[in-house]
Structure 1
Amino acid sequence: MYDPITIKRQQKLNRELGTIEVPQAFLDKFPDMKRERAEKYFATYVSAVFRVFVIRLAFTSDGETNVSFEKLFNACGTFNYNKVRYSIWNAFKEIYPFMVVVKLGSNLNSKTNYNEKNTRVKVVNERMLEMLFAEKSPQEVYDQLFTAADENAATAAVHIDMDNLARFIGCTQYELEKAPAEATKLRSKLNSNLWQAQLIQKVGIVTEKKFGAAILPMIESPSAFGRTYYKGLNIQNVSKQVRSAVIGHHYQYDMNAAVFATKLYLYGVAKGGDNALVGSLDGTYTRQYLAEKNQIRNRLAKHCFEGVNLPWDSKVKAIKDALTAIGFGARMQGRTWMGKNGLEGTALADILKSPAVRVTFEQDAWVKAFAAEQIEIEDTILTHAETLDGFDEMVEAIRASNEVNGRVTRAGKLAYMYQHYETFIMDIAVGVMKRYGIEPVARIHDAFIVREKLPDRVLDDVYAEWGLRDYMRLDCDEVREWAEASYKRAIDDAAREQAEHHERMKKAETFARMYAIKKTGVA
């Protein structure tokens, strides 16, 4: 798979293709420099870029990602030529580019600035990076992803199903072969999935040799807002397709429309208990959404995207994301909202990009009532929060997390409360499971993964611990193993042969009719 012979063969191939060579423009600019020295600087440049992209390429969107030019500048270092100091980064970045700037960033640390975007770039030399990746040994990649300190800090690990992961990689490579060049979004998604999977595959090779089992180390990074995140490449931040490839056959349980269920829970507490909501009109539209979310999403997708040439699934997902954004505090005309990953913008305009679609969505009577109800629920929750003993501590935690200006916003308070209660609710569910000897394979905020389907008695106990609230339910999704790429190829070949056969039969029938008309003169 990634044995030394394969790696050396890839390095030889890269050299033969002439793609990893010092640019002639550099040699021309510094004619008195020895070639060995020029190659050393070029190798430094390539290595620095690869170290940045080894993880970034796993999370590109439409071929774009965020990087820090300051870090690249420092990582490359400098050299002297004829008593003049030059930056290695500046010397190569334009004559041998791996990226083009989309939007120049501030180079601030994203942890201290919710609005930090760093420098947005579009990758322009993916083929080279893929070749570099292929010639890197698993140990080299592992060392760039995990330090010794990371290993010691790892509090958990996820077992990697290496066979299933290999099948997924094969299937993704096959899908890339089929994907037309103009399908840029699809190809970007497939490339991102492939990069994530291949990174984890190399991690698995190293950990299997090192620890006796293929595992993905999970290094906790707790948030002041209540959630537990993980550093670097982890089971939370990969795509759901890659997650399924890593874990293999499993069952994933998600809280039904978690943001709205959690808000109703907090709303009930603020109102003096859930009984205060029963029989009242409070939370009517939110409860309706929890009970009929698929029907509501489908109706809005059909209504808002009428006449728009877009796949049905994409329409429904856009509506789902827009409603979720409103649930997290996005305003119809707002600029930003406190999403699952911090302050995000520009509210609905980033989700429903078509002005016509957005206006239709915003003017829908149900959406208007639903959005107004969210504001009323949030106002009630925040007013109640101010009466609680821990309110001052909450405010200080939010202020401390915003090191840029220390502002404590409405969106920040809502996100803090939501994420703490989300964690509290899911801790209860996991606690019930553990009483039955069931350990989750992984937790992803408002979801958890287990190997076997939970018995009804376990779910009943979870719901009982949740206070038998009818709006707090777990949706179960069985995720099966991936098939071999050859199986997919055989299915596609059979479908193509059948289509070609139908076309031949159609032509034969047309020919027969024309022949009969010619012979008989009767149409």
Structure 2
Amino acid sequence: MIKLTVHESVEAALQKAFPKPAAAAKRALAKYISVVESMLFDALQRGQTPEQRKLGLYAISLDQLANKGGQIGPKKIRVHKWLTDNDWDIVQTVVKGTKFSGQNSQVKLTPLVTIQNDLQIPAASLSAATTDEEIDAYLSGNDVSNIALFDHLYPEYNLEWREDKLRQLFDWVPVDVESVKAYVYWLETESKMIQGPKKDLALRQALSILGIAAVTKGYYLQRKKLSPFGRTYYEGTSVQNVNKELRRAMLGNCWEYDIRSSVVAWKMGYARGYLAASGLDQDLKKSFPATLLYLEDKADFMATVRHYVFPESSPVPKDLRPKLLKQAFTAISFGARQTAKGWLDASGNWTNPALVEILQNTEDRMRFLADDTVKLFIKEQNALDDYLYDLFKKFRPDLLLERYLQTDSGRPSKAKVLAYLYQHGETHVMDIVRQAAMAKGHVPIANVHDAIFFKRRLGAEFKSEIEWQMREQTGNPYWHLTPKQIERYTPRSLNAKREEQEHKDRMAIEQARAVAYYSGSKPV
């Protein structure tokens, strides 16, 4: 948690301005500080940009701070306003946000306050540790701070809520605590690729997970956030938004099953309907050769495209090329623009098309878009996109009036409609997977959109049975589940390492003594 220490002069000034009741100033300032601490904590959990980190800035809502920060005096003056108007403010606005842009203000702490972050490991503390007990002391926190963190994130548990209500609010995820500790140790002492703000965010998330798991005896609570698009998201830190390595550490040894090429497979479920509506031949291989090759032999498809897009002269590292191509085809599947020209969004920020962000080398991107296979794939995807959008306009015109399916200017958004349809379809088919697995005693430990995690492997025969149910219940023959084994971070034991070295040292001394004895020399 965040702990702020405010200079005593602030309370003295507030007490002088509002002397009665006697303890009013103390209580009002304590409440205000508590709100600031909470907002700074949330800002850090969202992550800081490099600029914010460098300048010590935090993104918070000043309107919320003013409203939640309390009032004082007979005229009910807001504490935030009084502190600001009288030059006793503890947060100073650097860049003011606006309601129009929906952006928070950028603020920094004034010299009147100091900050202590319990979710931050002292510099070089882990690398300097020599025992397991020292590492545990750094990573496990203390009972007081862990309970404070829990109470901040889950205030509902201080109320007498029923279990069924709490299940509606939260998903519980089992945490491999020792694996997460090993991940943090690796991140602090060995990791070279993740640095700066990304590393800071990963550490805060990992320490939050450890803090909550300490209170719940091995579980992390994820607050559900239902989307009108059909998905279940989570507020704050969750298995969905942590990096893959932290997710691996968090879940420990388990099995991940995700839908292979999910959005493309989902669209192809409507291919025969498109052909019938268009009066075309029902031969799918004739109308969708590129898409079918992508689904049925993705490795060959990608290798062929990669050969033409990335020549030896390409500056893109070879091991990165498959990942970029996968991202590019996923972007196309979601209707990414082929143009290289960016645009200004409603907030005045410049936005580049997804393909420009993915394939940043201009020559590689031009070769990608000029490739015959890619052009055919795009053509086929566009045909399915148009068909699905027309179906939606015909059967659900009422939903086109919903703000979440419109552009900033208020017009229906084709991209949002397609995302809406896909995410509802994704949720439906993943519900089938969950129900089929649970019927055989396989309870999911975590869900990430088109991926699901189990402690035990499902087995090839059972996986095939689930895939059959996915296809049978949705009428889509293109659903496939891809299994992947996840392995925990192996805990490090400094004690064992030290004891092993001490044993080697003793053996070396004994050997030296034996050599000296038999050679007639004076023993060591």
TM value normalised by structure 2: 0.68
SS at match of 1:271: helix
1:483 maps onto 2:490 in alignment = yes
Question: Match for 2:384 among 361, 377, 380?
Answer: 377
Question: 1:168 is aligned with what amino acid?
Answer: Y
* Cα deviation code 1:386-445 (max 9, x no counterpart): 45xx5245435x446669776432112111111111112222222332332222222211
Match for residue 144 of structure 1? 152
* Cα deviation code 1:198-256 (max 9, x no counterpart): 11222122223xxxxx3223443332222222344333333322222222211111111
Alignment of 1:419-430 (within 5 A): 419-430=423-434
1:72 maps onto 2:77 in alignment = no
* Cα deviation code 1:263-282 (max 9, x no counterpart): 22233443359993533132
Instruction: Quickly say closer, same or farther: Cα 1:202–1:123, change in 2 above 3 A.
Output: farther
Question: 1:55 is aligned with what amino acid?
Answer: D
Question: 1:199 is aligned with what amino acid?
Answer: S
CA contact (8 A) 2:258 2:481 kept: yes
Q: C-alpha displacement at 1:190, in angstroms?
A: 2.1
Match for residue 233 of structure 2? 229
Alignment of 1:416-455 (within 5 A): 416-455=420-459
Match for residue 333 of structure 2? 327
SS at match of 2:98: coil
Question: 1:371 is aligned with what amino acid?
Answer: I
What is the alpha-carbon root mean square deviation over aligned residues? 4.8
* Cα deviation code 1:36-94 (max 9, x no counterpart): 999988766654333123234233264468532322333445678xx998636747999
Identical residues among aligned pairs (%):
21
CA contact (8 A) 1:76 1:88 kept: no
Distance 1:288 1:84 in 2: 64
Question: 2:210 is aligned with what amino acid?
Answer: Q
Distance 1:395 1:202 in 2: 44
Question: Match for 2:460 among 453, 456, 459?
Answer: 456
More deviation in 428-437 or 60-69? 60-69
Distance 1:401 1:346 in 2: 21
Question: 1:224 is aligned with what amino acid?
Answer: P
CA contact (8 A) 1:422 1:445 kept: yes
SS at match of 1:332: coil
Match for residue 138 of structure 2? none
SS at match of 1:331: coil
Question: 1:284 is aligned with what amino acid?
Answer: A
More deviation in 461-470 or 222-231? 461-470
Number of aligned pairs? 443
Q: C-alpha displacement at 1:260, in angstroms?
A: 1.4
Match for residue 185 of structure 2? 170
SS at match of 2:488: coil
CA contact (8 A) 2:15 2:25 kept: no
CA contact (8 A) 2:184 2:203 kept: yes
Question: 1:205 is aligned with what amino acid?
Answer: A
Q: C-alpha displacement at 1:329, in angstroms?
A: 1.5
More deviation in 407-416 or 128-137? 128-137
Distance 1:43 1:313 in 2: 54
Match for residue 396 of structure 2? 391
CA contact (8 A) 2:309 2:368 kept: no
CA contact (8 A) 2:60 2:107 kept: no
Distance 1:356 1:312 in 2: 17
SS at match of 2:63: helix
Question: 2:240 is aligned with what amino acid?
Answer: Q
SS at match of 1:229: strand
Instruction: Quickly say closer, same or farther: Cα 1:98–1:260, change in 2 above 3 A.
Output: farther
Q: C-alpha displacement at 1:196, in angstroms?
A: 1.0
CA contact (8 A) 2:119 2:207 kept: no
Question: 1:322 is aligned with what amino acid?
Answer: A
Distance 2:363 2:36 in 1: 40
Match for residue 520 of structure 2? none
Q: C-alpha displacement at 1:97, in angstroms?
A: 6.0
SS at match of 2:256: strand
Question: Match for 2:287 among 281, 287, 290?
Answer: 281
Gaps of 5+ in 2: 53-57, 121-140, 345-349, 502-524
Distance 1:411 1:447 in 2: 23
Question: 2:81 is aligned with what amino acid?
Answer: S
1:197 maps onto 2:221 in alignment = no
SS at match of 1:482: coil
Q: C-alpha displacement at 1:456, in angstroms?
A: 1.2
Q: C-alpha displacement at 1:474, in angstroms?
A: 1.5
CA contact (8 A) 1:78 1:87 kept: no
Distance 1:300 1:91 in 2: 64
Match for residue 104 of structure 2? 119
CA contact (8 A) 1:301 1:319 kept: no
Gaps of 5+ in 1: 1-6, 109-115, 209-213, 338-343, 495-523
Distance 2:276 2:355 in 1: 36
Question: Match for 1:186 among 188, 192, 195?
Answer: 195
1:49 maps onto 2:36 in alignment = yes
Q: C-alpha displacement at 1:450, in angstroms?
A: 0.7
Match for residue 112 of structure 1? none
Match for residue 472 of structure 1? 479
Instruction: Quickly say closer, same or farther: Cα 1:272–1:123, change in 2 above 3 A.
Output: farther
SS at match of 1:254: strand
Distance 1:391 1:486 in 2: 60
Instruction: Quickly say closer, same or farther: Cα 1:143–1:278, change in 2 above 3 A.
Output: same
Q: C-alpha displacement at 1:258, in angstroms?
A: 1.3
More deviation in 434-443 or 272-281? 272-281
Alignment of 1:5-154 (within 5 A): 20=5, 22=7, 47-60=34-47, 62-63=49-50, 67-77=60-70, 87=81, 90=84, 101=95, 105-107=97-99, 118-119=103-104, 121=106, 128=115, 130-131=117-118, 137-148=145-156, 152-154=165-167
* Cα deviation code 1:357-389 (max 9, x no counterpart): 6753564324443333322221122234445xx
Instruction: Quickly say closer, same or farther: Cα 1:90–1:332, change in 2 above 3 A.
Output: farther
Distance 1:265 1:88 in 2: 61
SS at match of 1:137: helix
* Cα deviation code 1:314-365 (max 9, x no counterpart): 554444333322211221237689xxxxxx9543266248463675356432
Distance 1:476 1:408 in 2: 38
Question: 2:206 is aligned with what amino acid?
Answer: A
CA contact (8 A) 1:73 1:89 kept: no
Question: 1:302 is aligned with what amino acid?
Answer: F
Q: C-alpha displacement at 1:140, in angstroms?
A: 1.2
Match for residue 160 of structure 1? 175
Distance 2:482 2:77 in 1: 65
Q: C-alpha displacement at 1:300, in angstroms?
A: 7.0
Distance 1:92 1:284 in 2: 68
Instruction: Quickly say closer, same or farther: Cα 1:348–1:252, change in 2 above 3 A.
Output: same
Instruction: Quickly say closer, same or farther: Cα 1:335–1:161, change in 2 above 3 A.
Output: same
Instruction: Quickly say closer, same or farther: Cα 1:172–1:402, change in 2 above 3 A.
Output: same
Distance 1:220 1:204 in 2: 18
Distance 2:308 2:116 in 1: 42
Question: 1:369 is aligned with what amino acid?
Answer: L
